[in-house]
Structure formats: C-alpha cells, structure tokens
Structure 1
Amino acid sequence: MAKKTKLGGRSPFREAALGFALGAVGGCILGATEDPVDRILSVMTSAGPMKPLMDEVRTVGALGLGTLIGATALTTAMTSVVAGVFTAAMVASVFVATRSCCGVSYKDSASLWASAGIAGAFGTTLSGATLGVAIEWIVKNYGMVGLLWVLSIFTLIRPPLHFLVKFLLKQDEKACCILGGTTTDWAREREQIQIRELQQRQRVAVQIEQRILNAAASGGGLEHRLPWADERRQREELERKKRENEEAEMEQRTIQDWINTVVIKHVDFLAFSGIPMTVIAMVTSGFGVFGYGGHQSVFLVLLALVGIMGYLLVKSSDFKFWMLVGCMGMLATFVIAMLTLHAGQVVVTTAMKMRVAGHNMSKETVGARMNYQSSLEALNAAFFVAKMCGLGLGATVGGPLVRQAAGEGRVIVGAALVAGGLLAGVEVLAPVLGEGGKAGALMGVVGAAGVSVGAVAALAGRWSSWPGTLGTIAGMVLGALGVGKWHIVNIGLQLPVAYVFAMTNPF
C-alpha cells in the first residue's frame, strides 16, 4: 500500500472547503459521544451504584481504590479497542484471502474497507459491553478484592496468549490457502497463461512453416497479414493478463503483510501494556487489604514504583508502542490515585475548619464523606481517562489508515457513520446492557469515533496548502464543540490527545 505525503491537485479554496467538511464530520461524531457518556457517568455516580465502592474504600484504601479503578477502566478501554482491531483484521484478511474483490484494487475496494470497519467497530463495542457487564457483576458480588484477583489473572495470562497468537499468525499463509485457495489460484492462473503462451508459440511456428512453403503462391496479400495481427493481439492480451496477475498477487501479499504487522503490534500492546498499571494496583491494594491503606508508606512505594518502571521502560534500547502506552497508563493510574486520596483529604480539611468555627462533625460522618468523595473522584477520573485512552487508541488506527492511502473521505465518513449507528444501538439496548454494559459499550463507541477523529488529524497534515490544514482543524473543532454542547474543557483536552496518537506510527 503506497504511502502519500501530501494531497494535491486542488486549489487552496477547495482544499479548505473539503477539509472543513471532513473535519466537521469527525468533530461532530466526537461531540455526539459527550452527552451519552456524561449521562451514564451520572447514573453510575448516584447513591446506589456508589455504595459498593464506598464500602470497599475501607478495604483497599483510597490509593488502592484509585489505582484499581483506574487500571480496570484503562484495561477495559485498551482491550475493547484491540478486540476491534483484531476483528477488523480478521475480516480484511478473509476478504483478501478469498479474493472477493477480484478485478479491482484491494486498497480501493469499498467492500473491503467497509466490511473491516463495520466488523472492527462492532467488535470494539461488543467487547466493551461484555467487559463492562463482567466488571459490574464482579464488584457487586466479590467487591474490589475480587476485581483485583480477576485483573491480576487477566494480566498474567495475556503474555502466554501473546506467544500463542504469534504462533498462529505464522500459520497464516497456510490458513489462507485452506480458506480461500489463494496461493493455488495464483499458481493455476500462472500455469494457464504459460500453457496459452506455449500453444500460441506452437501455432505461430506452424503458420510460419506453412507460409514458407506457400510463399510463392500466396503473393503476400492482405489476407495473409491479418492472421499475424490477430496473433499479435493475442500475445499482447496474454502479456497484459500475466502482468495484471503478477500485480494483483503482489498487492494481495502487500496488504496481507500489512494486516499481519498491525495484528502483531496490537498483540504486543495487549499483552504487555497493562502490566505496569496492574502492578501498581496490586501493590497499593495489597497494602490496603493488610491494613496499611492510609499509611504514608503506600504513597512512597507507589511513587517509587512509578519512577522505577517508568525509567526502565523509557531507557529500553528497543522502545516500542506498548511501552509508550504502558508509561502513559501507569502515569494516568498514578494521577487517579492522587485525585482519589486528595478528595478524601479535602473532606478532612473541611471538617477541621468547621470544628474551628464551632461546627463539630462526628468521626462517622467525616469517614462516610471521605469514602463518598474518594469513590466519586476515583470513578470520575477513571471514566475520563478511559475515554481519552479509547479515543487515542482509535486515532492510532485512523491516522495510519489515511497515511497508508486508504482514502481519507472513506475512513472519516465511514467511521463516523458506524460510530453513530453504534451509539444509537447502545441507547436502544441500554435496558438490556445495564449500567456497566452501557458504560463499556460507550467506551467502545468512543474508540470507533476516535478512528474518524484520528483520520481527520492525519488529513490536516497532508494538505498541500495551509488553508486546507486550517479548514480541517476549524471544521473538527467547531463540529466537536457544537454537537458536544460546548464542553470546551473536555473536548479541548480530547482533541490534542487524538492528534498526538494519530501522528504516532505504532507499525
């Protein structure tokens, strides 16, 4: 798949107009996710759903609660996006292997990209909904300790699965042959062309021999020159078919290699990126379980863990994409833990000021308010960070697709339409999904919207003139703010994150 650096061939005014329109599409779908996410967050932070979290603050401590909720939310967002990428890659691989788009360019096939995009978005949303329902059930039935065990086991089994998937990918070529007979088809076509070439050479040799024997009688008229023209046309047709066959085979191998590369990179990402933040959650929650949840040593250990693991990852001689996201996830988990702890301390400070003013509060009241504020802050921060993570990872898919010349309009509009359809589907199925399922599904929808936003960000950098770039950015910002009810702070933070991830090349 050939890469393109700049888009040209249009006037600056047309570039600005087209960029504004496409940017507005990506921005509108991003803004459309704001209100549903805010509504489900309001439901989850009401008294009923908050009670299990408030009870568990006493078990794992404020820091443990923050790191555990943060790591779980980020793991859900990462897993759902990777599940979508796997689903899309599998559909695209099957599509190419069975040669369903025979006769047209693979990279220009609308059916290929539409099938992969719809499958990927559906896989992301379904995975998020499934994980959301599972997490809700675990917390209600087994509390935060049960969630800690499940998160730890899930993190431990992913590296072995990583090696299993890589082994299966090595069998990809054989699987494609069994599935669609692709390699056999190419070999059969080459053999048929070679047989036809040999037959033509034999036929021409016989005709030449007959011409030589009948040269004196033929007189070299037009009726004897016509068969030679027919033979020449047949030979040119065979050469054309042979060339097209070779080009199609090469194009298929190229796109299949790219699909395999994407899958391998995301396998690494899924297997290892969650380890740093899960380690932090395990350590801080362990301190809380053994009765040291509020001790200063927990903060010191947490700070040391973040510093050591961050240093080891950044100093790696072979720095990879999963290490970058692992560092970011670890820092985000650290920030969530600090916000959770700070929320409880604010309650204590307020109680002390009220006591000085003559308004005494019982320890039970102060403790209940501390637990509530800590749980509320942990849930709010984790939800926001998970949304940013899903958006960024979606942008990591959309950006490279545009740079790989998959068609900027196709990616932006297609991803936006699919995300909009999924958003409507989630709203319809909300009673069936429940609170956790809807929250997880919405994280998947945000990831699908991130594909469109990342494609817009990549498009903005590919125009040949500044009006095209500025028009694209303006369309995205205005679309996101207008549809997102002018949530300037939230959207203002999301757009730079989407841009950074869209410009990152994990492949």
Structure 2
Amino acid sequence: MENKNPADVNRLKEAVLGFALGALGGCILGVTEDPVDRILLVMTAEGPLTPVMQEVQTVGPLGLGTLLGATALTTATTSVIAGVILAAAVASVFVALKNCGASFTPSAGLWVSAGVAGAFGTTLSGATFGATVEWIVNRYSMVGLFWTLSLFTVLKPPLSFLFKILWSRGEACCSLGSEVSSREREQIEMAQWQQRQRLAMQMEQRILTLEKGGSPNGAVSRETRAYEQREREELERRRTDKEEAEMQQRTIQDWINTVVIKHVDFLAFSGIPMTVVAIVTSGFGMSGYGDHQAALIALLALVAIITYFLLSSNNFKFWMLVGCMGMLATFVIAMLTLHAGQTALMDAKKMRAAGRSQSREDIGSRMNLQSSLEALNAAFFVAKLCQLGLGATVGGALVRRGAGEAKVIAGAAALAGSLLAGQVVLAPALSEGGNAGALLGVVATAGVSVGGAAAAAGGSSSWWGTLATMGGLVLGALALGQWHAVNIGLQVPAAFVFAMINPF
C-alpha cells in the first residue's frame, strides 16, 4: 500500500480548515441579512418615510439622494472609526501595562480586550448616530440634516488635530511602564557588573594563591564556580529576554499608533468629497432648481473634477481612495433617486394614455414616494457595504499582522453573534434609527470575520486552500442569508477587495 504524499495531506488539511473558517465568516454575514432587511422595512414604512417625502420638493431628488447617501456613509464611517480608535486605546493601555513585566507577548487577552472594545464601540456609536439622524430629520427636516452634515464635516479636521495631540499626551502618560522597565534593566546591568567584580576578585585571589605556591582551585570550590556560571547564564538570559520584550512592545505600540493616525485622517477627510457633492446638489434644490438639467450637469462635473484631483495626487492616501468611492456611491444614489421619480412620472403618463388620468397632486406624491423609497433603500445598502468593507479592512490587516486567522475569524463571528442577540433584546428600547445604526455596527463586526477569511484565502499556500476558503465563505453567506444571491454577490466581492487593501 502506497504512503500518502505529506504535501497532499497538508494541502488537504489546509483546504478543510480554510473551508471551515470561510464558512464561519460567511455564516455570520448571512445571519445579519434578515434583521437588516426587517429594520429597512420598518424605516421605509409610511410613518418614518413621511418626513423624507415632505422634503423632496425642498432639496430636489438629486439633493435628497446625495444628502441621504452622504449622511449614511458619514455615520457609517464614523461609527467604524470610533470602534477602531476605542480598540486601539484599549490595546495601547494593555501594552503599556504589560510593559512592566520582564517579557511581553501579544497574548489572547490583548486581542480579546481590543476586539470587544472595538465591536462595542462600533455598535454603540452606530446606534447613537442612527438615533441622532432620525431625531434631526423628524425635528428639523432635511434642511437641519443638511446644516448638521455641513457643520460636522467642517469640524472634523480640527477635531482630528486635537485628537492627535490628546493621543500623544495619553501615550506619554503611559511612560510609567517604560520607567519601571528601565529600572529593571538597570538592575540586571548592576547585577552583571557586580558579578564581573566578584569574578575579578576571584582571579586576583587565584593569582596570589599561585604566587604563594598553593593550588589555583583551592580558593574557590567547584560548587561555587558552578553556581556563578548558572548565575551568569541566568542574568544573560534575562537581559536578552528583556531586550526582545522591549523591541516587541515598541513594535506593536508603533503599529497601534499608525492605525490610529491613519484612521483619524481617514475620518477627518474621507467624507469631504461626498459632503461637497451633497451641499452643491442640495443647494440647487433649495434654490428651486432641484429638477433642472443644470443640477445634473453640475453634479457630473463636480464628481469628475474631485475624482480627477484626488486620484492624480502625488501623495495618494487611503482616505482619498475611500473618499472617491464614497462620492461615486453618493452619485449612484442620486441617480437612482432621480430615476425612481422619473419612472413614477412615466407610469403616470402611461396611465393617462390608457384613459386613467391622475391629478397633478397624485402624480407629485407618487414621484416623491418613489424617490424617497429609492433614496432610503440605496443609502442604507451603501452604508451596509461601507460598514462591511471597513470591517473587512480591519480583519484583513489583523490576519496579515499575525493575530491568527482562526482567532480573528472566530472571535469576530462570536462578537457579532453576541451583539446581534443584544440588539434583539434592546430593540424595544431603541428607535428605528437607533436599531438601524446598531445593526450596521453588527455588520461591521461581521465584516472583520469576513475580511479575516478573505485575507486567509489570499494568504493560503495553495490554490486548494484559497478556493476552499472562498467557497466556504460564499456558501455560508448564501445558506444563512436566505439565498439572497444579489445582495451576497455584491457584499462578498466588496469585502474581499477591502480586505486586500493595506491602509497603512
């Protein structure tokens, strides 16, 4: 009987493990489909939709689409970045406290504490932003949302600068751990110096003994020499371990700082392009030109100009890429919103040609309804893609950083499941906007698991492992996502692309 090739056995094991991990990430993504669909149905019901419908005439269909799209993407990115920053802060404190010891190893406690903090922060901030947007729309209409979004976009760059200063101050406050570490290093060096002094004294005693005609081994016993040898080896080992621990601690702290700075820049500047588009198109609408062809031409020109300048930048950064993607998504939402209203108008013309005439008020109401429905549906779906993609970026970065693909995928899936269960329990206490924001936060956490699976597939040593992981991811998402092939077909590739992006 022939022996199996060890390489084939390893590839088979890798494929089986990859399929299991991919299926786990896909399943948690699929589990979020039904709750998200239910909350979207609630948000597009007659009651919540009424304030939006009333404002179509104020800001125009293009303005409504860009305003809702920019708001949804801004709140989505802000909630994810809030979770990332909270996770980084917890990890930084954990690293600073561990620095007091003689060794530092990125234990499971580091990743667990950071993961729980990030998932909780994303979900809580998502619920807060969702409830806030709902309150602004109900109380101050779309005009209030327009001014709030504009003010928030203007304030983000100076706030990001202030946050960087506070972050550096906070890191300086953690210097106590490094001082303790320095004292411990000095103690080791002092012990080694004392040992060298004793060795020098012993050598002098041996020389004196030889000069007097005695035995060179009589001054120091064999047990003493063995003990001193062990002491020298122990001190050398402690010194080496301490240097390695300090280097490892500094490396992971530098990585945490890089993550924070990059994400703060991303939060501060990525929303500017789409907010500018929303301001211009909403301005046309409030000036009475919301349905005018000039608004569409200005929108196309503005998107093209901003995209060109960002993509042609010599110092291209991650926020520029995502800013362009968000602006293009906002543009698509605006087009869908405009198209929905035009479709309702064409249907009314067909009904009039068939002898079923409608009043101008009924036609206008129907157009406003369709535009509002399309704007909310598209904006919510784009926000979901944004949350999923940014979560996948974090998951992919963690896997490539060496956090362990199984830990990232399984841990994020467990956190997403726990948060989903918590959201179900707390749903009666939250508003529709709060529930929607919380669910999007759960989607972001699930995106970490999906991104980890995508990164594991990309980093597999064989095609079998890559295909098995991606196959498990797609099948798991479809099976528990009620076989929504279109939604899953858009979400999985988006998560895969974001997981492969290195924002650092």
1:253 correspondence with 2:250: yes
Q: Which residue of the partner structure matches residue 288 of structure 1?
A: 285
1:477 aligns with 2:474: yes
- Which residue of structure 2 lines up, in the alignment, with residue 130 of structure 1? 128
CA distance in 1, matches of 2:301, 2:445: 36
Counterpart in the other structure of 2:4? none
Q: Percent identity?
A: 67
2: CA distance, partners of 1:268 / 1:40 = 32
C-alpha distance in structure 2 between counterparts of 1:288 and 1:201, whole Å = 83
Q: Can you list the C-alpha shifts for 1:223-257, whole angstroms capped at 9, x where unaligned?
A: 82232221111111111100111111111110000
C-alpha separation in 2, matches of 1:100 and 1:388: 38
**1:480 & 1:147 partners in 2: Cα distance?**
35
Distance in 2 (CA, whole Å) between partners of 1:487 and 1:204 is 77
Residues 150-189 of structure 1 correspond to what in structure 2 (within 5 A)? 150-177=148-175, 181-189=176-184
**Residue aligning to 1:360:** 357
Asked if the contact 1:96/1:106 (under 8 Å) is kept, the reply is: no
Alignment of 1:289-368 (within 5 A): 289-368=286-365
Aligned match of 1:209 in 204, 208, 211?
A: 204
RMSD, aligned CA? 1.7
- Structure 1 unaligned residues grouped into runs of 5+: 1-7
Q: How many residues align?
A: 496
Task: Give, in whole Å, the separation in 1 of the partners of 2:22 and 2:218.
Answer: 67
CA distance in 1, matches of 2:375, 2:291: 16
What pairs with 1:396-435 in structure 2 (closer than 5 Å)? 396-435=393-432
Compared with structure 1, are the counterparts of its residues 196 and 103 closer, same or farther at alpha carbon in structure 2 (3 Å cutoff)?
closer
Residue 144 of structure 2 is matched in structure 1 by: 146
State the match for 1:12 in structure 2. Answer: 11
Contact 1:60 1:287 in 2 (8 A): yes
1:378-397 → structure 2 map (5 Å cutoff): 378-397=375-394
What are the residue-to-residue correspondences of 1:463-474 with 2, within 5 Å? 463-474=460-471
- Offset at residue 100 of structure 1 (A): 7.0
Sort the Cα spacing of 1:101 and 1:390 in 2 relative to 1 into closer, same or farther, 3 A.
farther
Kindly provide the CA deviation profile for residues 403-448 of structure 1, in whole angstroms up to 9, marking residues without a partner as x.
1111111111001101110111111111111100000111111111
Counterpart in the other structure of 1:497: 494
Which stretch of the first structure deviates more once superposed, 78-87 or 463-472? 463-472
How many angstroms does 1:166 deviate by? 2.4
Quick one: structure 1 residues 9 and 199, their matched pair in 2 at CA, closer, same or farther if it must change by over 3 Å?
Answer: farther
Q: Secondary structure at the match of 2:315?
A: coil
Q: Cα offset for 1:219?
A: 7.2
TM-score (ref. length: structure 1): 0.95
Counterparts of 1:191 and 1:354 in 2: how far apart (Å)? 89
Aligned to 1:33: 32
| TM-aligned CA deviation for residue 291 of structure 1 | 1.4
Aligned to 1:224: 221
Cα offset, 1:218, TM superposition? 4.5
Q: Give distance in 2, aligned partners of 1:456 and 1:100.
A: 31
* Cα offsets for 1:274-306 (capped at 9, x unmatched): 001111111111111121111111111111110
Rounded to whole Å, the distance in 1 between the matches of 2:171 and 2:320 is: 29
Query: Per-residue displacement from partner, 1:105-128 (whole Å, max 9, x unpaired)?
Result: 533x00000000000000000000
Amino acid of the residue matched to residue 19 of structure 1? G
Deviation at 1:211, TM superposition (A): 3.2
Structure 2 residue identity aligned to 1:121: A
The 10-residue stretch of structure 1 (28-37 or 288-297) with the greater mean CA deviation from structure 2: 288-297
Q: 1:163 to 1:198 in 2, by over 3 A?
A: same
**Aligned amino acid, residue 339 of structure 1:** L
Query: TM-score w.r.t. structure 2 length?
Result: 0.96
Amino acid in structure 2 at the alignment position of 1:369: R
